[in-house]
Amino acid sequence: MKENNSTRCNVLFLGNVVTMDADETVIKDGAVAVCGDMIAAVGPAAQISRQYSPDETITLPKAVIMPGLVNVHTHAAMACMRGLADDLPLMTWLQEHIFPVEGRLKGGMVYDASLLSMVEMIKSGTTSFCDMYLFADDVARAADRSGMRSWIGEVLYDFPSPNYGEPAAGLVYVEDLAQRYRNHPLIHITMDPHAVYTCSPDLLIALKEKAVAHDCPFVIHLSENDDEVRTVIKRYGKTPVYHLEDLGLLDGRVIADHCVMLTEEEIALFAARGVKVAHCPESNMKLASGVAPIPEMIAAGVTVGLGTDGSASNNNVDMFAEMDMAAKLHKVHRLDSTVMTAGQALHLATMGGAAVLGADREIGSLEPGKKADIIVLDFDKPHLTPMYNVASHLVYAAKGSDVVHSMINGKIVMRNRYLTELDETEIMEKVNVMTRTLKEGS
Amino acid sequence: MKENNSTRCNVLFLGNVVTMDADETVIKDGAVAVCGDMIAAVGPAAQISRQYSPDETITLPKAVIMPGLVNVHTHAAMACMRGLADDLPLMTWLQEHIFPVEGRLKGGMVYDASLLSMVEMIKSGTTSFCDMYLFADDVARAADRSGMRSWIGEVLYDFPSPNYGEPAAGLVYVEDLAQRYRNHPLIHITMDPHAVYTCSPDLLIALKEKAVAHDCPFVIHLSENDDEVRTVIKRYGKTPVYHLEDLGLLDGRVIADHCVMLTEEEIALFAARGVKVAHCPESNMKLASGVAPIPEMIAAGVTVGLGTDGSASNNNVDMFAEMDMAAKLHKVHRLDSTVMTAGQALHLATMGGAAVLGADREIGSLEPGKKADIIVLDFDKPHLTPMYNVASHLVYAAKGSDVVHSMINGKIVMRNRYLTELDETEIMEKVNVMTRTLKEGS
């Protein structure tokens, strides 16, 4: 029964609520009330239903309600290169297949291909992502169109870009981008040097200054594989991590992608400097880069999130598959089944990711006052039956395709697996057409 | 246009056909004609459509038609323990969680839980499986009900079983089982000693004699982890593999599950003896057993198939996830992205599995004269767009949920994701009810 003074709200979600709050509270028969773009209340359904009068109630017979997943490292537009070339040595893959295709990209293609990735992300439960790519303005346009929450950066390096031309022009480009998106409610611009081996110290420093000026993350591929580390040691006499440290660039603004090759000493340094890490197990596996020492990073207090990397090296952007892979990979690598639990993998994909992006007060959990980024899974499925432990099911048994509803910033972006903001058929068709041009180079 | 003398057939599948024949031929705009329980013809759609007049044509705008997947190692009934206990050391998991629950199992429960796993298998593209468990008669009843093709064995060991009691009674039980299913078109009985460390030499020999007498596989967990190998060396002064060799038990009838700890010498021995291997990467990862030397086995000419193991250690029976994991695991383990290709992973899950079961002349590929075990995937999906290489998509991007139709032995068992033979709602409900009894031990 409603209380007389019940509060009006937009949407009431009913089901088992996986809050991902500090105690990782799970509320059986729970509810989440959303007012505008915010979560107003989280608690037992009986209580919340009395307190709120919703315009709409969203539920399912076996609904699991949880925070939208946070993908901390991707190159969305690489959806157009999904499966273009696989099972090749890294340098053959990059130089003979990926780079030639990237040289033929145009902004409009990046827009369409990024939208395709966003469709896939929404349909597999991701509500926020951090993207590094060419034509970032087009990526941002696509993100704006999709309704997703995003952190977007234009990748810079010492050589000319198919987008902005010379590196100096790149600095102008990112400055303009940061200015224009300064007040966007969902899109945050980041400063993205490609990597230590492709960016001069001057370029790294210039981008770090911009990150400070715009109070935004500084995102860089770092210590991804043995080749990179050896190249940098040869050039600078130190590892990629110590190269950045000696340039004075390591601090809480840095999001370091991959970090497969981190030493114990470097992990301690990351913890001391507050450097954040984007862990991409599937890409690291597929490219045979190695296994990042994530359990050690977590033990040392480093903030870690989970990322898919681009679809050319994964070949999907499904964070449910990524959680499963993360938990299993570390167990077998360390021959210890306790070294990464389902709960830890779930944390990496939610609150961990939010903290990597410096947004843990806005997203990553279902708590009053946070932004309403919420997904609903249908657990009334053979592969999710029976149900003993919801975290275990979310990591080891659920699939992205079990997500049926998605809300971002208080707006429903998927209902019953139909996207409300995007026309997925049209987007697929555009990418299919573009693909012919891309591959043939015509 | 039909030829005047076109042949009547039951079903014509139209789409891109992944045959998995010896040349791994893929036929764009292809067709598969099914007459009765057999594949009558495979070829270009234009040609096959002229030659055959089907009762029914099955297609989709972007259909991929391929052989049903072959899961060479599972414990179907363990679906009822999915997520019961995870992220624990192996012995804690087994002794404190799995064994106590198994002690409370009854035949009817195994029947229902096995059906649940079969529902999940069909819905994720598996058409054949090899099962080892308690109450095998009930597993076989469930398999018969489901319409799946199966190899089923009752697990035997030196201690009393919740099913048949003392080991001697177990030998009577499996003899009876083998007799009764001798002429079943889809169900094959196997002889299944649990493992070297749980079965006396006498029991191993007795079961091998029965396997010879019934001309069926001899299925055993073998060299799954370091603990097992050390236990056996301590007891017999030799590894599990050499223990079997010295008992004269290694030959082409043996299906060895897991084989994580195989040495180079043991791999050569397997190749010489024709021993088959069931590779279960997800279970080996989740239980932190290690990484089986599969690339070495393949190089040595050992026949290898892919298995999920039971849902308590995976926690699903989805062979698409298993293929993805297999390809990625070996790449990262060997730091070589070429060591297990998408094509090889696909082979393991189809022809490799068929060969492990000694059924490579009946199933595993789409070729005239083979049994009609066929699945159809819908590739008109964002996560399968664009499409450069079908094998790459099947392994790295497709999900079990992309399978829309399934035919086993010429009979449609799933149409548009609806099961034609089984009531999945009723089966889920029965397992949910059973689960309460199981967990509480009441």
CA distance B20 to B350: 7
C-alpha distance from B290 to closest chain A C-alpha (Å): 5
DSSP string computed for A52-92: EEEEEEE--TTEEEEEPEEEEEE-GGGGGGTTSS-SS-HHH
Same domain? A62 vs A82? no
Tell me, yes or no, whether B364 lies in a domain.
no
**Mean pLDDT calculated for residue range B267-280:** 98
Q: How many CB pairs under 8 A join A and B?
A: 208
| CB-neighbour burial class of residue B233 (10 A; exposed 0-12, middle 13-18, buried 19+) | middle
Has residue B188 been placed in a domain? yes
Q: How far is CA B230 from CA B197, B198, B261, B270, in A?
A: 10, 14, 11, 20
Q: How far apart are CA A347 and CA B349, in angstroms?
A: 33
Q: Provide the CATH number for the domain around residue A384.
A: 2.30.40.10
* ipTM summary value: 0.96
Scanning A345-404 for CB atoms below 8 A from B yields: 380, 382-383, 385-389, 392-393, 396-397, 399-401
B320 close to B292: Cβ distance less than 8 angstroms: no
| Domain assignment present for B42 | yes
Residues of B in contact with A342 (CB under 8 A): 86-87
Compute the average pLDDT of residues A53-58: 97
B207 in the same domain as B152? yes
Same domain, A130 and A237: yes
Note whether residue A30 is domain-resident.
yes
At residue A3 the predicted structure's pLDDT band, cuts being 50, 70 and 90, is low
Taking CA atoms, what residue in A is nearest to B290? A332
Contacts of A71 in chain B (CB under 8 A): none
Q: pLDDT tens digits for A7-25?
A: 999 999 999 999 999 999 9
Residue % of chain B over a pLDDT of 90: 94
For the stretch B215-263, pLDDT in tens is: 999 999 999 999 999 999 999 999 999 999 999 999 999 999 999 999 9
- Which residues on chain B are in Cβ contact (under 8 Å) with A419? none
Q: Is A365 helix (H, G, I), strand (E, B) or coil?
A: coil
To which H or E segment does residue B295 belong? helix B294-300
User: Contact, B249 vs B204, CB < 8 A?
Assistant: yes
Distance CA B61, CA B212 (A): 48
Is B325 an 8 Å CB contact of chain A? yes
Residues B326 and B195 in one domain: yes
8 Å CB contact between A71 and A350: no
CA distance A49 to A56: 12
pLDDT tens-digit profile of B54-96?
999 999 999 999 999 999 999 999 999 999 999 998 788 888 9
d(CA A317, CA A224) in angstroms, rounded, equals 19
Which chain A residue is nearest to residue B90, measuring alpha carbons? A337
pLDDT on residue B1: 53
pLDDT higher than 70, residue B190: yes
Q: Is the pLDDT of residue A241 over 90?
A: yes
Please provide the DSSP assignment of B356-392 as one string.
Answer: HTT-TTTSSS--TTSB--EEEEE--SGGG-S-S-HHH
DSSP string, B205-227: HHHHHHHHHTT--EEEEES-SHH
**Residue B164: alpha-carbon gap to chain centroid:** 25
Report the pLDDT value the prediction gives residue B3, as an integer from 0 to 100. 62
| Among candidates B314, B386, B435 on the partner chain, residue whose Cβ is nearest the Cβ of A432 | B386
Residues 6+ apart with CB under 8 A from B256: B220, B222, B223, B270, B275, B276, B277, B278
pLDDT per residue as tens digits for the range B316-332: 999 999 999 999 999 99
CA angle B40, B42, B46 (to 5 degrees): 115
Cα Rg of chain A, angstroms:
21
Q: Average the pLDDT over A381-405 and give the result.
A: 97
Q: Are A64 and A15 in contact (CB under 8 A)?
A: yes
Nearest-5° angle of CA B331, CA B332, CA B336? Answer: 50
Same domain, A244 and A122: yes
pLDDT above 90 for B2: no
Measured at the CA of A134, the angle between CA A93 and CA A282, to 5 degrees, comes to: 45
On the question of pLDDT at A442 being above 50, the answer is no
Pair (B127, B226) in one structural domain: yes
The first and second tokens of residue B58, run together, are 């099955």
Which residues contact residue B321 at a Cβ distance below 8 angstroms, ignoring those fewer than 6 apart?
Answer: A321, A324, B282, B399, B400
What is the C-alpha end-to-end distance of chain B, expressed in Å? 66
- Within 8 A of A335 by CB-CB distance, chain B residues are 226, 288-290
Boundaries of domain holding A397: 7-67+374-408
C-alpha distance across the termini of chain A, in Å: 66
HSE-CB of A196 using CA atoms within 13 angstroms: 30
Residue B360 CB neighbours (<10 A): 18
For residue B335, the model assigns a pLDDT of 97
Considering the domain architecture, whether residues B103 and B205 belong to the same structural domain is answered as: yes
Both structure tokens of A258: 């991959």
Q: Give backbone dihedrals phi and psi of A326, rounded to 5 degrees, phi first.
A: -60, -50
Kindly state whether residues B247 and B316 are assigned to the same domain.
Answer: yes
Order of strands across the sheet with B276-279?
B69-74, B126-133, B149-156, B187-193, B218-222, B254-258, B276-279, B303-306
In DSSP notation, B390-441 reads HHHHHHHT--GGGEEEEEETTEEEEETTEESS--HHHHHHHHHHHHHHHHHT
For residues B241 and B223, the answer to whether their CB atoms sit within 8 Å is yes
B213–chain A nearest CA distance, Å? 38
Output the CA angle A103-B388-A137, nearest 5 degrees. Answer: 40
Q: What is the pLDDT of residues B422-434, one digit of tens each?
A: 999 999 999 999 9
Chain B residues with CB under 8 Å of A24 CB are none
Which candidate, A30, A43, A33, A36, places its Cα nearest to that of A6?
A33
**Number of domains chain B contains:** 2
Indicate which of B316, B383, B399, B431 best probes the interface with A, i.e. most A CBs within 10 Å of its own CB: B383
Q: Tell me the average pLDDT of chain B.
A: 96
Q: Which of residues 404-433 of A touch B (CB under 8 A)?
A: 424, 427-428, 431-432
* B131 at interface of A, judged by CB pairs closer than 8 A: no
pLDDT at residue B442 in the model:
44
Sign of CA dihedral A115, A117, A122, A127: negative
The whole-angstrom separation of Cα A86 and Cα B312 is: 32
Q: How confident is the model over A132-150, as pLDDT tens digits? A: 999 999 999 999 999 999 9
d(CA B102, CA B110): 10
Shortest Cα distance, chain B CAs vs residue A7, angstroms = 37
Task: Find the angle CA(A64)-CA(A66)-CA(A67) to the nearest 5 degrees.
Answer: 165
Do B126 and B262 share a structural domain?
Answer: yes
B325 phi and psi, to 5 degrees?
Answer: -65, -45
- Joined tokens for residue B93: 């998991």
When scoring A16, A26, A82 by the number of chain B Cβ atoms within 10 A, the one with the most, hence best to mutate, is A82
Residues A135 and A246 in one domain: yes
Q: Is residue A363 part of a domain?
A: no
Q: Give contacts of B289 with chain A, Cβ < 8 Å.
A: 332, 335
pLDDT score, position B5: 81
pLDDT digits (tens, 9 = 90+) for B159-170: 999 999 999 999
Q: Which residues, including other chains, have CB under 8 Å from residue B129's CB and lie 6 or more apart?
A: B70, B71, B72, B74, B76, B121, B148, B149, B150, B151, B317
Closest CA to B155 of B108, B209, B218, B81: B218
Is residue B213 domain-resident? yes
CATH number of A304's domain:
3.20.20.140
| Token pair for B116 | 């649940």
Instruction: Tell me whether residue A204 is in a domain.
Output: yes
The residue among A313, A328, A356 that closes a domain is A356
Residue B237: which region, alpha, beta or left (left: phi > 0; alpha: psi -120 to 50)? left
Cβ atoms of B33 and B9 within 8 Å: the answer is yes
Which tokens hold the place of A153? 């950066």
Distance between CA atoms of residues B367 and B349, nearest Å: 17
Determine the distance from the C-alpha atom of residue A292 to the mean position of all C-alpha atoms in its chain, rounded to a whole number. Answer: 17
**CB count, 10 Å around CB of B91?**
9
Q: Which amino acid is at A269?
A: L
The answer to whether residue B88 neighbours chain A at the CB level (below 8 Å) is yes
Quick one: pLDDT at residue A1?
53
Whether A56 and A119 map to the same domain: the answer is no
CB neighbourhood size of A180 (10 A)? 13
Instruction: Record the tokens describing residue B94, joined without a space.
Output: 């087994």
Q: Are strands B254-258 and B276-279 parallel, antiparallel or unpaired?
A: parallel
Give the C-alpha separation, A65 to A392, whole Å: 15
Q: What is the mean pLDDT of residues A309-320?
A: 96
Question: What is the distance between the alpha carbons of residues B210 and B216, in angstroms, rounded to a whole number?
Answer: 8
For B321, the closest chain A residue by CA position comes to A321
Residues A176, A222 share a domain: yes
Yes or no: say if B76 and B397 are a contact pair by the CB < 8 Å rule.
Answer: no
Asked if A334 reaches chain B (Cβ–Cβ under 8 Å), the answer is yes
Chain A: closest CA distance from residue B100 (Å):
16
- Position A91 pLDDT exceeds 90: no
Q: For residue A366, is it within any domain?
A: no
As a whole number, mean pLDDT of residues A81-87 equals 94
